[in-house]
Amino acid sequence: MAEVLGTYFLIFAGCAAVVVNVNNEKVVSLPGISMVWGLAVMVLVYSLGHISGAHFNPAVTIAFATCKRFPLKQVPAYVFAQVIGSTLAAGTLRLLFSGPHDVFAGTSPQGSDLQAFGIEFIITFYLMFIISGVATDNRAIGELAGLAIGATVLINVMFAGPITGASMNPARSLGPAIVSNHYKGIWIYLMSPTLGAVSGAWVYNMVRYTDKPLREITKSASFLKSSRNSG
């Protein structure tokens, strides 16, 4: 329920900003759309993170599962809930904004497929790297997780939005595609964010190295010992 509702509200708010911007002479603007996506993620992480983990994104769920930070058997249910939430949100927007100004609220590449694949991979890698740091590492300031994740989404949408729609989320692209029957480049938005998220999570786990507090690491660091001995 939390994943369905969370994904619904995220996609509804973010895609509504896109649709209203097109229908009303670009009144929302790119910075405005970026802020809506970022703030929506932030408030939903704070309100639902303690219930479902606030994934709202199949790529995040799969990435956590590959790192054994999420039960593999729950992945299908989470992904299904996220796609349902996204599709319902896109359907609601289609009903509210139908008519001559019917706007596709989904994502499609503005340049080449290779460019779109590369950008989606990098921005989802970046997002998952930040999520892994603030949400799974007990040495991070957990209370700021929502702020850090929301800010990362805002940054990514700001520069990648005009090129790929800055999906970072297979459900975000699939829901509007199903509702509008518009599947151009959908394979990019299913594969690239998933690969990017899995890579981001694994790279953070390599960087993490240990769960020991920083004080213990620096105390036992070999370079400090050698400098002390030489002194």
What is the pTM for the complete model shown?
0.87
DSSP helix/strand/coil, 166: coil
CATH number at residue 87: 1.20.1080.10
**Helix 170-180 / helix 58-66 crossing angle, nearest 10 deg:** 140
- Residue 31 three-state SS: helix
pLDDT at 230 exceeding the cut of 60: no
Q: For the chain, what is the domain count?
A: 1
Checking if the pLDDT of 51 tops 80, the result is yes
Residue identified by tokens 């105390």 is 219
**Domain range for 49:** 2-230
Q: In sequence order, which ranges of the chain are alpha helices (DSSP H)?
A: 2-23, 29-52, 58-66, 75-96, 113-136, 145-164, 170-180, 186-208, 214-220, 222-230
Give 20 or 138, the one with higher predicted confidence: 20
Give me the pLDDT at residue 229, please.
55
Whether the Cβ atoms of residue 168 and residue 123 lie closer than 8 Å to each other: yes
Contacting residues for 193 by C-beta, under 8 A, at least 6 apart: 57, 59, 120, 121, 124, 167, 168, 169, 170
Confidence at residue 6, expressed as pLDDT on a 0 to 100 scale: 95
The mean pLDDT value for 120-140 works out to 91
Determine the Cα–Cα distance for residues 6 and 40; give it in Å rounded to an integer.
9
